[in-house]
Amino acid sequence: MKPFKICIDAGHYGKYNHSPAVDDYYESDMNWKLHLMLKEELEKYGAQVITTRENQETDKPLFERGAMSEGCDLFLSIHSNAVGDDVNEDVDYPISIVQLHGKGDELGLKIAKCVAELMGTRQEGTIKNRRGENGEYYGVLRGAAAVNTLGIIIEHSFHTNTRSTLWLLNDDNLKKTAKAEAKLIAEYFGLIS
């Protein structure tokens, strides 16, 4: 059996997407921490894991990051979402952004629902996709599609929501998230039964 290979992308670099709800939170910091924790957890299941960047300070173009997944079974980009520039306590749900072909719908929904349960969000986890002028709207998903890799962007709820932002600032919660997502992915791809 061919070993399972995944490319994990820590969405954004440097100090990016500061939360209006909690001053200490930057989306880029959470993405970086969580993607490293997820890498470690997936490797425990025997997965071969590559990442799109060697450090948090370096940026790479979106399409290029997706295309780095060539030869992988899955490309996963880690994020938290925002609605506007102000605090919004009403919007609180994880969302998996999946590719237009629909092959990632099942896995994307499972991940979003898993995150919603862990975080205790106000709304259920869900999926969506978005068409752009050149097919996939999102550059990382367009890059993954160009090299025939299943691609998903997972938004870990909204950093414009105070409760969710505080939850994501807690490293113990990120470790729980990494463990749960790794287990789900390992089960989905048959690394464990």
Q: Which of 138, 151, 149, 107 is nearest to 125 (CA)?
A: 107
Token look-up 């629902």 returns 113
What predicted TM-score, i.e. pTM, was given to this entire model?
0.97
Backbone conformation region of residue 124, classed left if phi is above 0, alpha if psi is from -120 to 50, else beta: beta
- Give the integer Cα–Cα distance in Å for 19 and 165: 8
Domain boundaries, the chain: 5-188
Contact 160, 84 (CB under 8 A): yes
Residue 1: the pLDDT is: 61
Q: What is the mean pLDDT of residues 165-190?
A: 98
Pinpoint the alpha helices (H) of 97-170.
105-119, 139-146, 162-169
What are the backbone angles phi and psi of residue 55, rounded to the nearest 5°? -150, 165
pLDDT tens figures, 44-64: 999 999 999 999 999 999 999
Burial 78-92 (b: 16+ CB within 10 A, else e): bbbbbeeeebbeebb
Architecture per CATH, domain 5-188, reads as 3-Layer(aba) Sandwich (3.40)
Which whole-number Å values give the CA distances from 8 to 33, 67, 77, 173, 183, in the listed order?
A: 12, 12, 6, 19, 15
Q: How far is it, in rounded angstroms, from Cα 77 to Cα 95?
A: 12
Would you give the DSSP letter of residue 166? H
Read off the pLDDT band of 190 (50, 70, 90): very high
Q: Looking at this protein, which amino acid is placed at residue 124?
A: E
Tens of pLDDT, residues 72-128: 999 999 999 999 999 999 999 999 999 999 999 999 999 999 999 999 999 999 999
Alpha helices by DSSP H, the chain: 27-44, 62-67, 105-119, 139-146, 162-169, 171-188
